[in-house]
Amino acid sequence: MAFSDAFLDELAARCDIYDIVSRYVTLKKSGSNWFGLCPFHTEKTGSFSVNTEKQIYHCFGCGAGGSVYNFIMQIENLTFPESVEFLANLAGVALPEQDTSYHDNRKRLQELNRDAARFFYNTLLSPEGRAGYDYLIRRGLQPGTIKRYGLGFAPDSWDSLMNAMTAKGYTKAELRELGLVKPNNHGGFYDQFRNRVMFPIIDIRGNVIAFGGRVMDDSKPKYLNSPETKLFSKSRNLFSLNFAKKNTSRRLILAEGYMDVIALNQAGFREAVASLGTALTQEQAKLIKRFADEVIISYDADSAGQNAAARAADILKPADLKVRILKIPGAKDPDEFIREHGREAFAALLERSEDHMEFTLDRIRAGFDLETDEGRVGFLKEAAKTLARLSSPVEREIYASRAAESGNVSKEALLSEIERNRKAYAKRARSEETRRLLSPEKQAQPVNRSLHYADMRTARAEEGIIALLSREPSFAQTLLASGVGPEDFTSPFLKKICTFILEQYRTGNSVSSGALSQFLEPDEMSELGRILSAPDTGDAASAGKDYIYIIKESRARHADADGEDPLLAMRDLHKEKKSYGGSFS
């Protein structure tokens, strides 16, 4: 059920966008707006803007934007109704009783996942799950750890879970929506997870959102994970973060798999987390930054694990995180090392972990024979390219000194090569920026390609009309009197916004950010945030005439599609133009 505009307005008034955003982003005043580093993409220069007068945010880098509701939706990975509930709890505002049914479907799916987790856990503790229980014990897990993580077992059956859940009243369609069952070739369904140890994936609010299943032998695939669903996004969650977030050290250990994380947790390293079957993403790096300032990457010791560690470090470093990388001697992963050497040995290993740049230089050294002149030159050139990307002069000097020593050259010679690379990078960046600035049409297109403008000039006029309607309610009468309406818009999503705004005014309602956020899709709201973030035109009346004329001109050009004579339509339009003037830019 939709929330009333009055309730959304009242809640937004209690949750000023600056107060909410500043919980996640450090903001600094610049002109009439506040700016900071965008929490939704990696950047070094703050392009994330908050306008307290309009109560909107917009990132000029990635295009994210909207109201305070959209911000919470994006940063907390929530639906619109859940963002309302989140803000209401924050502000101490009770949700209207008639609105409490909004999350019935999502809550039901959460309950289904919870009941499925209970089924897997109970099966693990039953005779049917003995093989799974014995496997976990052999891997060194204690009964308390198994319970703490709610580990379970999917029996070697085609329909055990499906029958148990349908007996509880859930439908097969709901089971399929969560990836718990799959369709067969005969119109029926079968259990997705069979004969596997089960790992419930729990979000930071304590909800079971997905599952990972592991085989107990060498069959493939080794791990099977839930698909992307309404509840679960692999790229925006981390395994065991629900436990690690309680850690007060502001340090996280990033491991590769479920068992590594659980073994670390059992050994007392509660700050361990893992990505979910995919390479680390920027979204996960931003999530980590909310709970940590330092990350120790503890991946497998083989070459694949170390390559993955290097890639993860490249993702984490731009998120303003201190990154160190652990090398595990004599064991393939943290789980094996802890079982063989104990907790204290692993704790000592953590303290000796290498910082990201030292690890990177070690990897570059390994690729060259430093006993030859050719090898030293190759190493130093690659090291210079890498060190040139460091923004801190202090870091450049320290690591240049170490690399120069390895290559048997003076630090000054290597710093000169680093500076040459820095100038080349800067020149390339300026060229790219020039190309970007020389392509204004491309920049003016919506970030989401599905919202692409077919007629740029007319769409920009339509954007102007929407901005005026949002700022000047009286412009609605001017627009209606002109004979131009949403039906004349060339952009479907701008037509949708204009129709909504005019209907709000017609029914005596305000055009609030909350009402718009509830009505529009997140991508549409982001584009509206961009439109409303543009500077005011100043002379609203003159600008409005220009926008109306451009849309009428477009309508006249396409008059033949409606059975009219386009030449006559254009002639009539020019007569109208002369009657009231205007710049028509």
Dihedral (CA of 559, 560, 565, 568) sign: positive
Q: Write the CATH number of the domain with boundaries 449-580.
A: 1.10.860
Residue 180 gets which letter from DSSP?
A: S
Q: What is the pLDDT of residue 583?
A: 41
Q: What is the pLDDT of residue 21?
A: 94
Q: What string of pLDDT tens digits covers the 585 residues of the chain?
A: 578 888 898 899 899 999 999 999 999 998 889 999 998 887 778 889 999 988 999 998 888 999 999 999 988 878 888 899 899 999 998 888 654 444 567 889 999 999 999 999 999 999 999 999 999 999 999 999 999 999 999 999 999 999 999 999 999 999 999 999 999 988 899 999 999 999 999 998 899 999 999 999 888 899 999 999 988 988 889 999 999 998 888 899 999 889 999 999 999 999 999 988 678 988 888 889 888 999 999 998 888 888 899 899 988 987 778 999 998 888 888 888 998 999 999 999 999 888 888 888 988 998 999 999 999 999 999 999 999 988 788 889 999 999 999 999 999 999 999 999 999 988 887 776 556 545 555 556 787 777 888 888 889 899 999 999 988 888 888 898 888 889 999 999 999 999 999 998 888 887 888 889 988 988 899 989 888 887 765 567 788 888 898 898 888 877 655 555 555 555 555 555 555 444 433
> What is the SS3 string spanning 26-92?
CCEEECCEEEECCCCCCCCCCCEEEECCCCEEEECCCCCEECHHHHHHHHHCCCHHHHHHHHHHHHC
Q: Please check whether residue 295 is in contact with residue 256, taking contact to mean a CB–CB distance below 8 angstroms.
A: no
SS3 196: strand
CA-based nearest residue to 35, from 45, 47, 24:
47
For the chain, first and last CA: distance in Å? 44
Architecture of the 5-99 domain: Alpha-Beta Complex (3.90)
The CATH class for the domain spanning 106-358 reads alpha beta
Residues 6+ positions from 55 with CB-CB distance below 8 Å: 12, 16, 17, 67, 68, 513
Q: What is the pLDDT of residue 102?
A: 46
Residue with tokens 């090392």: 337
CA-based nearest residue to 283, from 12, 50, 528, 76:
76
- Per 3-state DSSP, the chain is made up of helix, strand and coil in percentages (nearest 5) of 55, 10, 35
As a whole number of angstroms, the distance between CA 247 and CA 269 comes to: 9
Q: Please check whether residue 295 is in contact with residue 254, taking contact to mean a CB–CB distance below 8 angstroms.
A: yes
C-beta atoms surrounding 521 within 10 Å: 15
Same fold, 5-99 and 449-580: no
Q: What is the pLDDT of residue 78?
A: 83
SS3 325: strand
Q: What is the pLDDT of residue 566?
A: 53
The ranges assigned to domains in the chain are: 5-99, 106-358, 368-437, 449-580
As a whole number of angstroms, the distance between CA 213 and CA 151 comes to: 10
As a whole number of angstroms, the distance between CA 112 and CA 232 comes to: 14
How big is the chain, counted in residues? 585
